[in-house]
Structure 1
Amino acid sequence: MERYSQFRDRGSGIAPFLPIPAEPLGLQAPLRIFLFCFRLPLLIFVSLSYFLILQWLPIGSLGKKAALWCILGVPSIWWVDLQVDGVRKGFVQPYISNKPHPTDLTARCRSLKQQQARLPQPGSVIASSFTSPIDAIYLAAIFDPIFTASYPNTRQVERISLFQAILRAFAVPSTQPAPNSRMVDVSTLVEQYPNRPIVLFPECTTTNGRGILTLSKSLLGVSPQTKIYPVSLRYTPMDIVTPLPGSYLSLLWTLLSKPTHCIRVRIAECVTSSQAVLDTSPARSNKSTYTTNYLDTLDQEQVSASEKALLDSVAESLARLGRVKRVGLGVKEKQEFSRAWSQSRRTW
């Protein structure tokens, strides 16, 4: 892998575009081959049923979420470890008691409302990490959001469907939107869909989950009053990520041949552009995990101090939630890496 050393972050040495090595089959070869052959027709059936039929029927949000959970259930993605900043583990669910005292019930209801307020709500923005097509499916199954595509050099976003969000996890990244793309401000989408959250993938392309790329300026298109929730999605094992474009078959094999997979979901406290200025202090800057001049990677368009603080706050939250570091790489480096990889290896 020394030939790809130029695609490592200079400060930390992290290579966010290298694929995760697959585990050898060993004695589990018969079991894994059986699981793959058994699950593949089921996954094709439930996926085609949803994307061709169910998503167009008036079955409501709950019906669509149930169908998406069936898609996640085929490869046994059931074990979801959810943690929310400010909420003790295990206290996300409502409290149930046989005969609660009125005072206790009032306190529990107040506590429950406070806990729910720490989760992404309709009218808010979700800034999610991006490592796998499973990210989009999970977010759709939980929050029923509006998906968008971000680009490094513009504050506007392109509204996309869930299926397009899945395909973007396998696509070669682009620094500019297509000529026929309909770009829109994030604040406009929030006003158009007040009953649904908006999902942004500010890294603009997938990684192997070992670093946070330079964030897009699309986060700067959020209005000052809108809450932004950084959300980190990580997988155990980590080999169902798709840092390489076109890795359809390898993902299907890894996803369907293993008995089960675990998603670790971390949700940070919400942040707004006005709060980001107050939260960015010299003490916090000294604790930053970032080792490269991140602000220099922002292109020609000037950004204000509050906007820089917002990008720093979201990036630091994603790095802290994922227990990784920020890197000074972005879409351009991913494009160069993809070309170098395709010249020497075959993606499958």
Structure 2
Amino acid sequence: MEKYSQFRDRGSGVAPFFPVPRESSGVYLPFHIFLFIIRLPLLVGFAFTYFVIFSWLPVPAYIKKPALWVILGIPGIWWIDLQIDGVKRGSLAKHQDRLPQPSSIIASSFTSPIDCLYLAAIFDPIFTASYPNTRLVQQISLAQAIWRALTSPQSLPPRGARLVPLWKLMKENPDSLIVVLPECTTSNGRGILGLSPSILTTPPNAKIFPVNLRYSPADVTTPVPGTYISFLWDLCAKPTHCIRVRIAEAVQLSGVRSQQSLNDFPARVRDDDKYTDKEIGASFGSAETLTNDDLPRELNIEERKVLDRIADDLARLGRAKRVGLGVQEKVDFIKVWTKTRRIW
């Protein structure tokens, strides 16, 4: 394992890109094979119907959500253990303000395709893709978010992608909650990767809720891309799966100010009727065509504190460690891993 030592965090020794070892089926192997054979056609058929047909229909969220719960239920995801910082069990009804609401942001951990499926079934949010060196995000569909959890990480946005700051996306969708995946790529859940600065384009008074999802068994995480068959086996062959969902206290950017930050613009013109795309262009260039080189790479002290706070919350909620690794290290890891390992 010496050749993989560079992909372990030097401080904690955590290796966030290694797949979680699969639990042996032992004498239950015939039963697991039976479950896999029964569940796989149901899961694939129902998911295909939903994403290819049903998701495009103009139906309200209260109809789409049950369909997503069926997709979650087919492989045996029955138990959801939800805890919220500062809320005692059984008293959630009295603390609805501690739950993510429309016009707020979820900064979610990213370990499995199930992450986004669960968040869609609960919140019906807008999903975004973040990248390491830009503060802008790309709006993506639920299917694209799931696909990103199974494929190689992207350090740069696709050519022609529409990139916007979060505050503009929130202005365009005032009644929606927005999910940000600030780690930019999946890990095995044992470490929180370096966060993208995209979260810093949230409006100053909007609430950011760090949310961590953990799984038991943990082998449904997909840190290595291309493991479609093994993921489906781990998902469908086990009798049940548990999702442990932890939501931290909301974070706000009210005190963050930077002369070069995109946050300055919405802070100056909080009345939505007073800003236009022309003014955006005059201040920062076109928000939809900015490239990595057009955006500041340096973070000021307050911005760094915000990212550290969110990363610390994600690590605490997931009982994980923060690691000094990110997208580029994962790209390098995959190159080494695929030379000697078979991905299937």
TM-score using structure 1 length: 0.86
Q: Is the 8 A contact 1:136 1:165 kept in 2?
A: yes
Q: 2:317 aligns with which of 311, 321, 325?
A: 321
Judge which range, 227-236 or 188-197, deviates more.
188-197
Deviations 1:158-178, CA, capped at 9 Å, x for gaps: 000000000000111121111
Judge which range, 151-160 or 304-313, deviates more.
304-313
Give the aligned partner of residue 167 of structure 2.
187
Give the aligned partner of residue 338 of structure 1.
334
Cα distance in 1 for residues equivalent to 2:300 and 2:203: 14
Which structure 2 residues correspond to residues 294-305 of structure 1 after superposition, within 5 A? 301-305=297-301
Judge which range, 129-138 or 303-312, deviates more.
303-312
Give the aligned partner of residue 283 of structure 2.
none
Gaps of 5+ in 1: 95-111, 278-298
Quick one: which amino acid aligns to residue 64 of structure 1?
A: K
Quick one: which amino acid aligns to residue 32 of structure 2?
A: R
Deviations 1:223-270, CA, capped at 9 Å, x for gaps: 111110000000001000000011111100000000000000000000
Quick one: which amino acid aligns to residue 255 of structure 1?
A: L
Cα distance in 2 for residues equivalent to 1:216 and 1:79: 31
Give the aligned partner of residue 222 of structure 2.
242
Aligned length: 307
3-state SS of 1:264 partner: strand
Quick one: which amino acid aligns to residue 180 of structure 2?
A: L
3-state SS of 1:265 partner: strand
1:149 aligns with 2:144: no
3-state SS of 1:51 partner: helix
Give the aligned partner of residue 33 of structure 2.
33
1:169 aligns with 2:153: no
3-state SS of 2:219 partner: coil
Give the aligned partner of residue 72 of structure 1.
72
Q: Percent identity?
A: 58
Give the ranges of 4+ consecutive aligned residues of structure 1 lying more than 3 Å apart after TM superposition: none
Cα distance in 2 for residues equivalent to 1:300 and 1:64: 40
Deviations 1:158-203, CA, capped at 9 Å, x for gaps: 0000000000001111211111211111001111111111000000
1:48 aligns with 2:44: no
Q: Is the 8 A contact 1:276 1:309 kept in 2?
A: no
How far the C-alpha of 1:134 sits from its partner, in A, is: 0.2
Q: 2:241 aligns with which of 245, 261, 264?
A: 261
Give the aligned partner of residue 86 of structure 2.
86
Cα distance in 2 for residues equivalent to 1:17 and 1:301: 25
Give the aligned partner of residue 105 of structure 1.
none
Quick one: which amino acid aligns to residue 82 of structure 1?
A: L
How far the C-alpha of 1:11 sits from its partner, in A, is: 0.6
Quick one: which amino acid aligns to residue 321 of structure 1?
A: L
Quick one: which amino acid aligns to residue 332 of structure 2?
A: E
Gaps of 5+ in 2: 258-294
How far the C-alpha of 1:275 sits from its partner, in A, is: 6.0
Q: Is the 8 A contact 2:204 2:256 kept in 1?
A: no
TM-score using structure 2 length: 0.87
3-state SS of 1:39 partner: helix
Quick one: which amino acid aligns to residue 30 of structure 2?
A: P
Judged with a 3 Å threshold, the aligned counterparts in structure 2 of structure 1 residues 275 and 313 are, in CA distance, closer, same or farther, namely farther
Cα distance in 2 for residues equivalent to 1:16 and 1:62: 36
Cα distance in 2 for residues equivalent to 1:66 and 1:38: 21
Judge which range, 143-152 or 21-30, deviates more.
21-30
